[in-house]
A and B are shown apart, each in its own frame.
Chain A
Amino acid sequence: MELLIANGHVIDPAKGFDEVTDLYISAGKIAGIGNAPKGFKPERIIDASHRVVSPGFVDLSARLGGGGDEHGATIVSETLAAARAGITTLCCPPDTTPVLDIPAVAELIHRRAQQAGLAKVHCLGALTQGLGGEQLAEMYALKAIGCVGVSNAGRAVYNTEVMRRALEYAGTCGLAVVLQPEDHWLGRQGHMHEGGVSTRLGVPGIPETAETVALSRDLLLVEQTGVRTHFARLSTAKAVELLAQAQAQGLPVSADVTIHHLHLTHEAVGDFDSMCHVRPPFRTQADRKALRGAVARGVIAAICSDHHPHDVDAKTAPFDATEPGVSALELLLPLILELVRGRVFDLSTAIAAITCRAAQVLGIPAGILAIGASADVCVFDPEREWTLTENTLLSAGKNSPFLGRELVGRVTHTLLDGRVVFEEEADVPASR
């Protein structure tokens, strides 16, 4: 099918492209930018005036629900939410139920995602069996079934010998390693950042060192093994400093941060608001400032949602007894745009963090608008105002600390392999 996205503000950070022009799509691929391919006759024209046209977003961490049961979040409901949010590629971490340490689990996820046809789902396999931190997982088998990397999914690997060998083995298999640095003992009982707020509330705290001790250790192991490693969900200024040093040294390391950690601090917990119960926890204003600066400078390459849909019960309990995690897919774009408007970084850097730079982390062919690449495209209205409510959230998880908030920026069309997988109702008025 031949499709034309006309007159949009096309931004493709991978090539530094930033112009108002036309985008031509044919047979599921990008066929032309600015100049129509010979004999192009569009069966459909999408008017993208006053809209931004970017590569479909690449989300490095999004959970798709518990093992496909009928209640609550499922691959269908969450990829639908992803499509609504302009996310065309997402990575599912291995802390599924059951754990993603055998090919069958990945195969099931791939199949369900393909059937739903709403977003491309890549799996990260487990680094160790059962994510237990003791035995290596069968990484080669996981790679063969299509896993794009392996990860500890935030579960501490406290046996340093195991961590070293796991890195070496992943390197042998040619798999990217994604590590969420977490010490096994420091802050084990904790549920929020250890500091003045946790002291006042009497909630057990997770000190900075829970992240930085593990990160330091892992950086030294990366230095020893030379295996390319991506550090996930950084939350401290100190971690940014350590990472920048390692990069300056030439270590093959990269990092991401969640969109919520660029916005919220531990003060957001307020009077035990369980919507702000997350791991790693929201930390101080100084940490947030350092994380923002790191994205702006490129020390942190990617921003992810770290989507965690929970049902109502999981968050309806005293703070310590609730499940950590926020529903985040549909917040990715508007919250990033808020940072752009606040001049934390420019639009191109922002889009790069959720397209090409994210894709590069895992070596996935996505996040670019090159001719011949899959036509995974996002069209969004950067000025659209809307309110986040349980109804406007498509995800089965309504656990967002931003419920009731006014947001600016909304996707109008999402294309996957040249197919429109999401578009707004026709009579929604344009902002201008």
Chain B
Amino acid sequence: MTASNIQLDERGRLKHFLSIEGLPQELLLEILSTAEGFAPVGRRPVKKVPLLRGKTIVNLFFEPSTRTRTTFELAAKRLSADVLTLNIGDSATRKGESLLDTLRNLEAMHCDMLVIRHDCSGAAHFIASHVCSEARVINAGDGRHAHPTQAMVDMFTIRRTKGDFGVLRVAIVGDIAHSRVARSDIHALKSLGAREVRVIGPRTLIPPEIETLGVRVDHDLKSGLRDVDVVIMLRLQNERMQGALLPSAREFFELYGLTEERLAVAEPGAIVLHPGPINRGVEIDSQVANGPRSVILEQVSYGIAVRMAVMSIAMSSAAKPESH
């Protein structure tokens, strides 16, 4: 009943990029180094390389998102691919049957790659297990399960500013329970050999048995941030205040909001990441967000290059030697 790893083809090359879990470390490193190659493209006069010219990439977004959607669109366009974005937001098309039907319709149009964002955990796996063998699936976020491209952006940012993962202590702060970014970041950091990974948050927002993923749990921000080199702040959704998980945003900020004063216990030179968009005064105060330790804007600028790397590596495994 456990599926074999559908992310890799029989030669171990990346086929579908669904979750960091199950991918070998070498592949993660390949994504990072390929992204280095793409990083300068956005600063050239011609912001394109012809690598995926003629390929059709479809962005299937069942959950609204301006930032992630535009990043994927730009990444595909800078690879010279043809891009189609479908925003399927309304509830009528939320049911499973439509997901499969939508998929079949897209396949009839011979799409090479699907980028999917959906509010059900496992949606990307579902699409990947029903898609035809030539197509490639990239997970742009499925429920609470995974957001692997964001994790790679975070890893790229960390490596560029802090270097080798092996000496780093990393803290992830906030609503871990509902965060696909947190889960993917944890898998990526562990795979790349981070010295220590901690999750910090109130008991109501830490999922059960998360220690089994190899992390240390802290409920106190100050003790959790001690000696830390990298702080990843997570976004707090408004719904959490309605679900008996938290009394108010104010109280969350009191306990877990990142301020200069609280950062003082971290390593000097510690950097601050956030997947965005930021809630100022809830997770993080403006002084930190705008300050020298914040690499939040760098994350945004690396977002396109990292996604270009993921898309080209995945598409690469669809290569077919010509028969002579």
Contacts and interface: CB of A to CB of B under 8 A. Distances in A.
* Chains A and B directly touch (beta carbon < 8 Å): yes
Interface of A: 194-196, 198-205, 207, 267-273, 275-276, 313, 316-322, 401
B169 interface: no
B18 to A, nearest CB: 9
Q: 5 tightest CB-CB pairs across the interface, nearest first?
A: A317-B96, A202-B144, A272-B122, A202-B145, A270-B2
Contacts of A201: 121-122, 145
B46 interface: no
Contacts of B180: 202
B97 interface: yes
Contacts of A275: 1
10 contacts: A201-B122, A316-B130, A317-B95, A317-B99, A317-B120, A318-B99, A318-B125, A319-B120, A320-B120, A321-B99
A199 B208 contact: yes
A317 B100 contact: yes
A350 B54 CA distance: 63
B126 A270 contact: no
Contacts of B213: 199-200
A320 B121 CA distance: 7
A320 B125 CA distance: 13
B209 interface: yes
Interface string B190-219: 000000000000000001111011000000
Given A195-B209, A318-B126, A202 B146 contact: yes
B42 interface: no
B5 to A, nearest CB: 9
Nearest to A321: B96
Nearest to B96: A317
B3 interface: yes
Contacts of A273: 1-3
A211 to B, nearest CB: 16
Interface of B: 1-3, 6, 21, 94-97, 99-100, 118, 120-123, 125-126, 130, 142-146, 180, 183, 207-210, 212-213
Contacts of A200: 21, 183, 212-213
A317 B212 contact: no
B210 A199 contact: yes
A268 B6 CA distance: 17
Given A271-B2, A317-B96, 4 more contacts: A203-B143, A205-B207, A270-B3, A317-B120
Interface centre among B6, B122, B123, B126 (most CB of A within 10 A): B122
B208 A194 contact: yes
Contacts of B120: 317-321
A318 B209 contact: no
Interface centre among A202, A205, A317 (most CB of B within 10 A): A202
A319 B121 contact: yes
B234 to A, nearest CB: 14
Contacts of B99: 317-318, 321
A29 B113 CA distance: 66
B97 A317 contact: yes
Contacts of B97: 313, 316-317
A401 B210 CA distance: 27
Contacts of B210: 199
A114 B1 CA distance: 38
Contact of B125 (A199, A271, A322, A401): A271
B122 A268 contact: no
A401 B3 CA distance: 12
Contacts of A269: 1
A265 to B, nearest CB: 11
A198 B120 CA distance: 13
A322 B208 contact: no
